[in-house]
Structure 1
Amino acid sequence: MTDTESPVGLAAVWSSLGGDPALLTRVSTVERPEVLPARLPVRELARACVGACALAAAELGTRRAARTPSGRTPAGRPGVFGTPAVRVDDGAVAAAFVSERHLLVDGRAPVAFAPLSRFWRTADGWVRTHANYPHHRARLLAALGTPEDPRAVAAALAERSAVEVEEAVHAAGGLAVALRTPARWAAHEQAAAVAERPLVERGRLDTAPARVLTPVDRDPLLPAAGLRVLDLTRVVAGPVATRTLALLGADVLRLDSPGLPELPDQHTDTGFGKRSALLDLTVDRDAFEELLSAADVVVTGYRPGTLDRLGLSPEALAERRPGVVVAQLSAWGAYGPWGDRRGFDSLVQAATGIAASEGSPERPGALPAQALDHGTGYLLAGAVLRALTEQADEGGGRFVRLALARTAGLLLEGAAHTGGPAEGSAAALAPVAGGSADAWLTEADSARGRLRYVRPAVSFAGGPRDWARPPGPWGADTARWG
């Protein structure tokens, strides 16, 4: 099947961002079949997400590099051949999709998952829990009525059905989902609601005038230079998106509540190029409104409805900051019966049938990377970049929305178009991503110590090769624009 026909190919993904198909000729790929081995087309999905993001960056960078000081293009829009060549290397993409596993802090490897974050046998199958954060762990244990002992948790779960555990833990504010096959998920009401939506939801928020894109230098070409991004995201997908915007020159300020501590190593992996500050949005509203008044982009990744209740819906933000681009990310989508549920990549893999596809209903498997998180993160960054390009022509504040469950649907759709998952298991084929990642790793000093990390996978001619600054400690910066 050609890339044009594949639902996980670059052409389809680029189309979901509203991109001009003529620009696809500017993309070349280096295929490495040994990386990201899986039954599902993970390598293809990862390549398409990174490629679409890089092409959106090259497109916006060309527009800005072609502008005169007056903000006008001397001879109209840059042509296709004026767009920098984009190169997508499967090796770089695979390394980036497991960046958290390659990170070393003073030679120490981070701990990826807590002991209670795993699959467990139930009376009728399997359930996947997520308990990396203390508050989620406490809610899980409260729902099960057990101490923090894996043996006690296993015994309690073995007596209940998977769906019973799913509902009980959700009611307690915790995180657990039953393992489902793709067919079982397809019959679920939430799956039907997700399937009705496009991969990337895009639309207007207001009638603000066209954005004036100031010129940028070509060495390196930074498409997002001078743009201010408020980062209200946590964990992986959202921070990957804003890490990418920071690579491309944006001034990214991540804001976290002082009451929701972050995992330090996770923050380090996704904190390159950004600043990090603490701000209680329920108390420090004046400080937030001052930041919003100068922001070009707001990226949110909290559970649907959480920020809306604080007056931070896309419509409310655009009313106070006309012309803003609002990018929203969720696990299950902000609709359907699970529209208000928390979720993470591992849970979405379990619920949607991915884990059963990579293993079996009797023994679940996993993708070779948190591909839903990383893939959606690059798509979110690409969607923001395309929204900024469209604003330069048409004006108007914009919103873009993505969901991990919708990205999961794309991956499963890609498998269906190739006749189903390939034989073999990712776990059996490779411990990390397949092949050697040494070519994609580098080191730098930081406030957290000496870091080994993965170089950026987003690459185009004349673009940045690394982030302008290493990550700092969580919450160490002041909540103001630099």
Structure 2
Amino acid sequence: MNSSNFTGASQAWAALGANSSLLDRVSYSGPSGGLPARLPVMELARATVAVCSLAAAELTSVRTGRPVPQVRVDDESVATAFLSDRLVRVDGQAWSTFAPLSRFWRAADGWVRTHANYPHHRARLLAALGVPGNIGEEAVDAVAEAIAGHTALELEETVYAAGGLAVATRSPEEWAKSTQGALVAGQPLLTTTRVDDAPGRVLGDAALPCAGLRVLDLTRVLAGPVATRTLALLGADVLRIDAPHLPESQEAHNDTGMGKRSTTVDLGDATGRRVFEELLDEADVVVTGYRPGALDRFGLTPEALAGRRPGLVIAQLSAWGHYGPWHGRRGFDSLVQVATGIAELEGSSDSPGALPAQALDHGTGYLLAAGVLRALTEQHRTGGTRLVRLALTQTAHWLVHVLPPAPGEEDGFDAGRRVTETDSPMGRLRYALPPVSYEGGPVNWARPPGLWGTDAPVWGGGA
């Protein structure tokens, strides 16, 4: 199939500021059934993986001096990868991607969805609702009773004011009329800008597009880690950094920690800041996935980073965008689906629904990796510190309003053909193979994930 038939890839490639003629390097194959939904989820998945693969192939050409390799996008591999967080197993054991209090609830006038996977979010939700924090198995009933007595919008504001996460279910029209929704509609799918005129980094000859590049990964579930997992696949030395006081799910890391190392550094501590600055001095890419402004006090604005490390590629990801009244709110894929009208579109008259995968997360993750790869290519050509920005809401707008309608495909793929197993520090790990593929490119990660937060804060895998 010719890539011109897939407008999603053309749109995303144009948003990346790339040469449209390279789309002819892309071909598509595999069973077409996968990620069935009313919205064009499979098209989003196919397009984001296609442009990420093509950006990797383009950078490979830059580094080898050879023609851009052919890119093959396999639908079965793509659909499997978008379900990677649900398919991962350790010694045959699965894990629940959502905690009991992360779900839809019926409010007095509609529906609200909460997110309480992390202990601190659970505690804030319970506190906002006046439910005892030490409640046990009765928590679901107690929360349901508390929510039923309030309107969805009241709950949204009350829980957010307490630092928790709850979003009222809106229709696409209601979201479009909101201030944040209107601002999102005026944004492109992603933005790539040049911050300064720093000279470009010299990229030596290498078989893998990211070989020799060092990536500081300051992201959490799920889009950011998907992006940096992809950069690790392509040869980058990726070091994930988390704050020691913020808990992380080892089960989630089993999926998104492929190819990476993971450490904890306290940026609020003088010793931790010194360690971070030493890492930054040798970094080529910095990827952040926290709320806009959350890391500013640590000197992690694009301008401050460019001043200390000219020639960086800086990639920033947020849930709601770096603009508007919601820019400082916490958010996750499931909540963005609820706010933007996706839950209503995928639901029924009885209850809201959800996409067949965390598609906003995965799709934005591959777009983020593509943005980094393209920034490296452009930086090689003309220099400059580069800034790439994406938001889950902008991906959601693309899915709902821009991509062509879904063809109504049935679920007809076999995920078992696109998973494999390896030994890991956690046990026998079963995981989805990467969907990013081009002629001569890697087919698997060089290393499995390790135990979260246990690696030394140094480059190059040192102990």
CA–CA distance in structure 2, aligned partners of residues 341 and 4 of structure 1? 38
1:93 to 70, 78, 81: 78
The count of residues paired between Structure 1 and Structure 2 equals 452
1:193 to 177, 183, 198: 183
1:152 to 105, 126, 142: 142
Q: CA deviation at 1:422?
A: 7.0
Counterpart of 2:16 in structure 1 is 17
Q: Does the CA-based 8 Å contact 1:125-1:362 persist in structure 2?
A: no
Q: CA deviation at 1:211?
A: 2.2
CA–CA distance in structure 2, aligned partners of residues 203 and 45 of structure 1? 24
What aligned pairs does 1:6-155 form with structure 2 within 5 A after superposition?
9-30=8-29, 32-66=31-65, 82-147=67-132, 148=135, 149-155=139-145
Counterpart of 1:305 in structure 2 is 293
CA–CA distance in structure 2, aligned partners of residues 163 and 309 of structure 1? 31
CA–CA distance in structure 2, aligned partners of residues 95 and 15 of structure 1? 26
Asked if 1:282 is matched to 2:268, the reply is yes
- 1:316-375 CA-partner distances (Å, limit 9, x unpaired): 001000000100000000110101000000000001000100114641111010000000
Q: CA deviation at 1:33?
A: 3.0
Q: Does the CA-based 8 Å contact 2:166-2:335 persist in structure 1?
A: yes
CA–CA distance in structure 2, aligned partners of residues 356 and 472 of structure 1? 39
Q: Structure 1 residues 373 and 264 mapped into 2: Cα distance closer, same or farther (>3 Å)?
A: same
- Structure 2 unmatched runs, 5+: none
Moved more, 143-152 or 92-101: 143-152
CA–CA distance in structure 2, aligned partners of residues 123 and 332 of structure 1? 26
1:477 to 446, 455, 458: 455
Counterpart of 1:69 in structure 2 is none
Counterpart of 2:333 in structure 1 is 345
Q: CA deviation at 1:91?
A: 0.4
Counterpart of 2:196 in structure 1 is 206
- 1:185-234 CA-partner distances (Å, limit 9, x unpaired): 111110111122211111011211122110013xxxx1000000000000
Counterpart of 1:70 in structure 2 is none
Q: CA deviation at 1:414?
A: 3.4
Counterpart of 1:172 in structure 2 is 162
Partner letter of residue 126 of structure 2?
L
Asked if 1:407 is matched to 2:385, the reply is no
The alignment partner of 2:32 has SS state of coil
Q: CA deviation at 1:31?
A: 5.0
CA–CA distance in structure 2, aligned partners of residues 327 and 188 of structure 1? 27
Q: Does the CA-based 8 Å contact 2:314-2:387 persist in structure 1?
A: yes
Q: Does the CA-based 8 Å contact 2:201-2:383 persist in structure 1?
A: yes
**Sequence identity, in percent?**
63
Q: CA deviation at 1:30?
A: 1.2
CA–CA distance in structure 1, aligned partners of residues 113 and 228 of structure 2? 28
CA–CA distance in structure 1, aligned partners of residues 125 and 109 of structure 2? 19
Q: Does the CA-based 8 Å contact 2:3-2:23 persist in structure 1?
A: no
Counterpart of 1:258 in structure 2 is 244
- 1:292-321 CA-partner distances (Å, limit 9, x unpaired): 000000000011111112211111001000
Q: Does the CA-based 8 Å contact 2:311-2:383 persist in structure 1?
A: yes
Aligned-residue Cα RMSD (Å) equals 1.5
CA–CA distance in structure 2, aligned partners of residues 360 and 292 of structure 1? 49
Partner letter of residue 443 of structure 1?
E
The alignment partner of 1:299 has SS state of strand
Counterpart of 2:427 in structure 1 is 449
The alignment partner of 1:387 has SS state of helix
The alignment partner of 1:453 has SS state of strand
Q: Does the CA-based 8 Å contact 1:443-1:452 persist in structure 2?
A: yes
Counterpart of 2:215 in structure 1 is 229
CA–CA distance in structure 1, aligned partners of residues 171 and 407 of structure 2? 16
CA–CA distance in structure 2, aligned partners of residues 342 and 268 of structure 1? 23
Q: Does the CA-based 8 Å contact 1:41-1:414 persist in structure 2?
A: no
TM-score by length of 1: 0.91
CA–CA distance in structure 2, aligned partners of residues 12 and 436 of structure 1? 28
CA–CA distance in structure 1, aligned partners of residues 121 and 219 of structure 2? 17
Q: Does the CA-based 8 Å contact 2:346-2:352 persist in structure 1?
A: yes
Asked if 1:216 is matched to 2:206, the reply is yes
The alignment partner of 1:261 has SS state of coil
Asked if 1:183 is matched to 2:169, the reply is no
- Consecutive aligned runs of 4 or more in structure 1 exceeding 4 Å deviation: 2-6, 421-424
Q: Structure 1 residues 361 and 212 mapped into 2: Cα distance closer, same or farther (>3 Å)?
A: farther
Q: CA deviation at 1:164?
A: 0.3
Partner letter of residue 249 of structure 1?
G
Q: Structure 1 residues 294 and 164 mapped into 2: Cα distance closer, same or farther (>3 Å)?
A: same
Q: Does the CA-based 8 Å contact 2:3-2:24 persist in structure 1?
A: no
Q: Structure 1 residues 5 and 159 mapped into 2: Cα distance closer, same or farther (>3 Å)?
A: farther
